[in-house]
Amino acid sequence: MPFTPLHMGPGMATKAVLGRRFSLVAFGVSQILIDLEPLIRIFRGDAILHGVTHTYAGAIPIALLAMPLTRWLYPWLARFANYQVSAHQLHWLRIAPRAGWPAIAAGSLIGTLSHVLLDSFMHSDMRPLAPIVEGNALLFSISLNALHLGCVLAGALGLLLWFGRTLFHRSARGNTAGHD
């Protein structure tokens, strides 16, 4: 994916479906971590940008790294986000003050594995199943426009569903329980 933020579309859709069992913050942290390798390689002028981080085998250790990092960062991010929404009187958008390990694990693992899957469609230097299988059967199997549109649509639908769920829970329980 040329733009890491596009990966957040499928992340938002997953959040809408799994709710509090899935940490969108962990998903976002994993997107940044996994794209550090191509970013560094761009600056170094390497011929191959997507190396071991963009394999399924490499995605798992990155997810394991994202988990404690998210757990550590989360309270600060939540405090910042909640300050912003409270300042705008949007208390119902407050997020939970901390995220549990299962939600963080789900967000991190789904984050890195889905990242490798989506990037496999477009990066010719990727070997997603290395070191077991060389090559990339998914490469260019769908168009770049379709891939980007799919990510944007997934994000839009996910956002709509998430808003619907949040408003439903708010009116059903009448509290300000947050999301992570």
Q: Quick one: tokens of 53?
A: 């981080």
Q: Cβ 147 to Zn ion, closest distance in Å?
A: 12
Q: Cβ 69 to Zn ion, closest distance in Å?
A: 18
Instruction: Please identify, using beta-carbon distances, which residue of 40 and 167 lies nearer to Zn ion.
Output: 40
**116 Cβ neighbours under 8 A, 6+ residues apart:** 34, 54, 55, 56, 59, 126, 128
Q: Cβ 35 to Zn ion, closest distance in Å?
A: 5
Instruction: Please identify, using beta-carbon distances, which residue of 99 and 118 lies nearer to Zn ion.
Output: 118
Q: Quick one: tokens of 147?
A: 């891939």
Q: Quick one: tokens of 177?
A: 């329980």
Nearest to 10 by CA among 131, 117, 129: 117
Instruction: Please identify, using beta-carbon distances, which residue of 119 and 180 lies nearer to Zn ion.
Output: 119
Q: Cβ 77 to Zn ion, closest distance in Å?
A: 22
Asked if residues 49 and 41 have their Cβ atoms less than 8 Å apart, the reply is yes
Instruction: Please identify, using beta-carbon distances, which residue of 35 and 180 lies nearer to Zn ion.
Output: 35
* Residues found near Zn ion in the complex (CB under 5 A): 35, 119
